[in-house]
């Protein structure tokens, strides 16, 4: 009984802020202006503009996720080898930027990358060729990697620390070299962390619209931008919700993959 | 974009201000909920209004008419005073969202606002019953004289390969299409599919040359020398020139949009009489001139114009253009539900291309 009482606030919370909004998205997504049932809003993903935006979003978030993985894994391994107070400090450094709002941090990248921005000023001071990254898909990928990298590092780091050092020692004793140990022992054991890291980078990258607006100059339309514009500009909530449902399918696919690997709940680290 | 900042700033504000909150949570004479464009008023005038009337002003900002409309239509957040543009006022009148204004309670409006602006308003508010003009102006090209060395007098310069990656376009459907439609010699209120498709194709053709589609940022980027040419509202021209003297504003010869932003009172306004007091206060010449000096958008308030001390600005062609000198000027009108949808559809095609 007491347990039920303690859970009550969470139940109220999830009904009010998760279930009801979700139901509303489904209601709007599956009806037209007159309130009649329709699948048109979901089928709208097939139009040239929408499917192009969706594929571009999938591509850019995939690239960002891969880059994040290759940046995060070695770093997580280095962190693991460090002394306790040292690695705590490094982890702290990585979490520190998250104390600031991510929109502000993305805006800072805009100022850095602009044609007459900080980076180009420094480059031209040393008579080096300047960069032209702003308002390109590359800038969006950079923004995604920058913003979501900590979400990849932390779960991987978490699962690496859980590996019993004796397992690694045993591998060495049995004649495995460092590379074989990494590939056959460490990596498989850290897989749950890797998978939750992938989810935590891929999902927000797929749905973002702020990063693409700010660093893409509104020239590159991702599926998140399309949905945002349906709500704010075109005030077509039905189409916006319909496209959100399509996006949810991709997110659920990713989550299914996640639960299959991550049985110990590494994703809950943050 | 400003809307996006509002969230982190509000959070920051909430953290830093909790200590001082509580002192003036509500005015002694009630409240007035104002919904206005971003940076479209001198905050000092709000303080002056609060002090004089004892009415607390709760102030929200929007970035485009299209963002404002669904919020007001949904009715979840009730406002007393809103400042939309011409075509949006027409849409709100047609959808029965606005209250008729009792001008007896706003004596300053008829007294100080010039006759020509009331006449111009009749395009969207035929009997001058629903709106009180607040700001007006044109849309034109702002260019940097150090980067553009030829005369700028036509929208066609925005399609010139020479300025690849140095052109800023407006990230709003109607303003973007206005440029293309005017260049083709069509009306910016057209519903002709062939004309709209031609404009769409022109915008798609232009896209590789465009550095970014932005709204308020045109100003900052032009001041910073980030781009050579930008489509901008005339009201920003004086401000940007003050910050960067290399900038020049022109109204292209193909014609442009003459717009008016006016105060309106929504039908569901909870504090109708406070709204009237607020509008009347803003129509006072000495208040209107403070706002003009701050936001530099042309004021329709003749009394305020008399009070401007700087003769150059008082007679400025940018701030107070003689409209009879230009041809093909138009004011946006509401295109109807289907027209809006069509335009949005085409805009999406431009953006995703």
The CATH number of the domain where B78 resides is what?
3.40.190.10
Residue A231: pLDDT band (50, 70, 90) is confident
Do B211 and A217 make contact, defined as CB atoms within 8 angstroms? yes
Closest alpha carbon within chain A to B218: A217
Co-location of B12 and B63 in the same domain? yes
Q: Indicate if B110 and B53 belong to the same structural domain.
A: yes
Task: Indicate if B248 and B286 belong to the same structural domain.
Answer: no
C-alpha–C-alpha distance, residues A94 and A99, integer Å: 10
Tokens of B327: 């041809």
Does the pLDDT of residue A99 top 50, yes or no? yes
pLDDT digit string (tens) for A216-226?
999 999 999 99
With a cut of 60, say whether residue A1 has pLDDT above it: no
User: How many C-beta neighbours within 10 Å does residue B333 have?
Assistant: 16
Mean pLDDT, to the nearest integer, of B151-160? 96
Q: How far is B316 from chain A (nearest CA, A)?
A: 31
Q: Which 8-state DSSP code applies to residue A44?
A: G
Q: Looking at residue B326, what is its pLDDT?
A: 85
For B343, the token pair is: 């335009």
Residues of B in contact with A57 (CB under 8 A): none
Q: Does residue A265 surpass a pLDDT of 80?
A: no
Quick one: average pLDDT of B332-340? 92
Q: Is there a contact between A221 and B352 if contact means CB atoms under 8 Å apart?
A: yes
Dist CA A35 CA A28 (whole Å): 8
Give the pLDDT of residue B20: 40
d(CA B320, CA B339): 32
What pLDDT is stored for residue B10 in this prediction? 41
Q: Are residues B52 and B84 in the same domain?
A: yes
Do B31 and B60 lie in one domain? The reply is yes
pLDDT band at B3 (very low <50, low <70, confident <90, very high): very low
Rounded Cα gap, residues A177 and B339, in angstroms: 69
Residue A104: its pLDDT value, please? Answer: 93
Let me know whether B165 and B212 are in one domain: yes
Strands (E), chain B: 31-37, 56-62, 81-82, 131-144, 167-170, 210-214, 229-233, 247-250, 258-264
pLDDT tens-digit profile of B164-221? 999 999 998 999 999 999 999 999 999 999 999 999 999 999 999 999 999 888 999 9
Residue B14 in this model has a pLDDT that exceeds 50: no
The Cα B133–Cα B203 span in angstroms is: 32
Cα–Cα distance, A58 to A223 (Å, whole number): 9
Residue B45 C-alpha, separation from nearest chain A C-alpha, in angstroms: 29
Find out whether A254 and A235 touch, Cβ atoms under 8 Å: no
Domain encompassing residue B9: 2-136+259-321
Same domain for B250 and B158, yes or no, is: yes
Considering the domain architecture, whether residues B196 and B340 belong to the same structural domain is answered as yes
Tell me what pLDDT residue A241 has.
Answer: 96
CATH number corresponding to A48-269: 1.10.3720.10
pLDDT grade for B21, boundaries at 50, 70 and 90: very low
| B192 lies in the same domain as B264 | no
Please report residues of B whose CB lies closer than 8 A to that of A143: none
Indicate whether B5 pLDDT > 60. Answer: no
With 60 as the cut, is the pLDDT of residue B23 above it? no
pLDDT, residue B70, reads 85
Q: Give the mean model confidence (pLDDT) for residues A180-194.
A: 92
pLDDT at A269 over 50: no
Residues of A in CB contact (< 8 Å) with B are: 48-50, 52-53, 101, 103-104, 107, 114-116, 132, 135, 210, 213-214, 217-219, 221, 225-226, 229, 231-236
Per-residue pLDDT reduced to its tens digit, A123-134: 999 999 988 899
What residue spans of chain A are helical by DSSP H?
2-14, 20-29, 40-43, 48-81, 84-95, 102-113, 118-125, 137-161, 165-173, 178-181, 187-207, 210-216, 223-232, 237-261
**The model's pTM:** 0.85
ipTM here: 0.84
**End-to-end Cα separation, chain A, in angstroms:** 29
Calculate mean pLDDT across residues A145-160: 92
CA distance B163 to B227: 9
pLDDT single digits (tens) B266-306: 999 999 999 999 999 999 999 999 999 999 999 999 999 99
Q: Are residues B215 and B334 in the same domain?
A: yes
User: What pLDDT, on a 0 to 100 scale, did the predictor assign at position B26?
Assistant: 63
Split at pLDDT 50, 70, 90, the class of A2 is low
The pairing of strands B131-144 and B247-250 is antiparallel
| Confidence (pLDDT) at B63 | 85
Contact B196, B343 (CB under 8 A): yes
Q: Do B154 and B113 share a domain, yes or no?
A: no
The answer to whether the CB of B268 falls within 8 A of the CB of B78 is yes
Please list every residue in chain A whose beta carbon sits closer than 8 Å to the beta carbon of residue B348. Answer: 49, 221, 226, 229
Residue spans of the domains in chain A: they are 48-269
Percentage with pLDDT > 90 across chain B: 76
CB contact under 8 Å between A213 and B1, yes or no, is yes
The answer to whether residues B8 and B254 touch, using CB atoms and an 8 Å cutoff, is: no
pLDDT at A254 (0 to 100): 84
Q: Please state, in angstroms and rounded to a whole number, the distance separating the CA atoms of residues B234 and B55.
A: 33
Same domain? For B339 and B214 the reply is yes
Task: Kindly identify which residue of chain B lies nearest to residue A216, measuring between CA atoms.
Answer: B212
State residue B325's pLDDT score: 85
Q: Name which residue leads in pLDDT, B324 or A44.
A: A44
CB-closest option in A49, A115, A236 to B349: A49
As a whole-number percent, the residues of chain A with pLDDT over 70 amount to: 96
Measured CA distances, B63 to A156, B12, B269 (Å): 41, 21, 21
| Conformational region of residue B328, where left means phi above 0, alpha means psi within -120 to 50, and beta covers everything else | left
Token readout for B86 is 């011409």
Q: How many domains does chain B have?
A: 2
Other CB atoms within a 10 A radius of the CB of residue A133 amount to 21
Would you call B224 and A114 a contact, using CB atoms and an 8 Å cutoff? Answer: yes
Determine whether the interchain pair A229/B348 forms a contact, defined as Cβ–Cβ distance below 8 Å. Answer: yes
* Eight-state DSSP code of residue B159: G
């Amino acid at each position: 009984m007491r347990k039920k009482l303690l859970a009550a606030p969470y139940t109220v919370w999830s009904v009010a802020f998760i279930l009801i909004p979700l139901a509303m998205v489904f209601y709007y997504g599956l009806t037209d202006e007159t309130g009649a049932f329709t699948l048109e809003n979901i089928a709208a993903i097939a139009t040239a503009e929408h499917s192009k935006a969706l594929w571009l979003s999938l591509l850019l978030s995939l690239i960002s996720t891969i880059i994040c993985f290759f940046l995060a894994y070695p770093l997580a391994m280095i962190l693991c080898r460090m002394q306790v107070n040292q690695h705590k400090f490094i982890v702290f450094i990585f979490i520190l930027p998250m104390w600031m709002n991510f929109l502000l941090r993305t805006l800072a990248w805009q100022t850095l990358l602009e044609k007459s921005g900080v980076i180009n000023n420094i480059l031209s001071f040393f008579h080096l060729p300047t960069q032209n990254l702003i308002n390109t898909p590359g800038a969006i990928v950079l923004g995604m990697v920058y913003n979501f990298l900590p979400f990849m590092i932390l779960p991987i780091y978490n699962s690496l620390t859980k590996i019993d050092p004796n397992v690694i020692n045993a591998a060495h004793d049995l004649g495995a070299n460092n590379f074989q140990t990494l590939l056959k022992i460490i990596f498989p054991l850290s897989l749950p962390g890797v998978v939750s890291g992938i989810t935590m980078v891929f999902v927000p990258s797929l749905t973002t619209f702020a990063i693409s607006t700010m660093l893409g100059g509104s020239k590159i339309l991702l599926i998140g931008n399309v949905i945002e514009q349906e709500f704010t500009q075109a005030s077509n909530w039905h189409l916006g919700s319909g496209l959100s449902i399509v996006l949810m399918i991709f997110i659920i696919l990713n989550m299914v993959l996640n639960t299959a690997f991550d049985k110990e709940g590494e994703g809950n680290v943050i | 974009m400003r809307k996006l900042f509002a969230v982190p700033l509000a959070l920051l504000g909430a953290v830093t201000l909790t200590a001082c909150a509580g002192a003036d949570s509500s005015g002694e004479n009630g409240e007035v909920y104002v919904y206005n464009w971003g940076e479209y008023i001198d905050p000092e005038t709000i303080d002056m209004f609060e002090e004089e009337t004892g009415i607390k002003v709760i102030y929200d900002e929007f970035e485009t008419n299209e963002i404002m409309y669904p919020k007001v239509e949904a009715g979840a957040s009730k406002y007393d005073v809103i400042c939309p543009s011409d075509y949006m006022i027409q849409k709100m009148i047609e959808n029965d969202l606005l209250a008729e204004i009792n001008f007896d309670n706003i004596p300053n409006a008829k007294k100080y606002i010039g006759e020509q602006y009331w006449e111009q308003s009749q395009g969207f508010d035929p009997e001058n019953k629903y709106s009180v003009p607040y700001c007006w102006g044109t849309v034109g090209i702002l260019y940097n004289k150090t980067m553009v060395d030829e005369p700028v007098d036509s929208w066609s310069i925005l399609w010139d390969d020479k300025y690849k990656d140095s052109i800023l376009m407006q990230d709003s459907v109607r303003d973007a299409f206005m440029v293309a439609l005017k260049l083709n010699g069509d009306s910016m209120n057209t519903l002709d599919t062939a004309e709209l498709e031609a404009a769409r194709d022109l915008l798609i053709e232009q896209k590789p040359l465009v550095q970014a589609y932005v709204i308020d940022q045109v100003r900052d980027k032009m001041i910073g020398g980030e781009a050579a040419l930008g489509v901008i509202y005339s009201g920003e021209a004086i401000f940007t020139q003050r910050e960067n003297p290399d900038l020049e504003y022109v109204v292209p010869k193909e014609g442009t949009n003459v717009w008016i932003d006016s105060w309106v009172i929504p039908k569901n306004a909870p504090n109708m009489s406070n709204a009237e007091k607020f509008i009347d206060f803003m129509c006072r010449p000495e208040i209107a001139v403070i706002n003009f000096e701050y936001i530099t958008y042309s004021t329709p308030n003749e009394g305020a114009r008399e009070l401007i001390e700087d003769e150059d600005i008082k007679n400025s062609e940018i701030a107070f253009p003689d409209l009879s000198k230009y041809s093909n000027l138009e004011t946006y009108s509401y295109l109807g539900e289907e027209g809006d949808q069509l335009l949005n559809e085409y805009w999406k095609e431009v953006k995703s291309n």
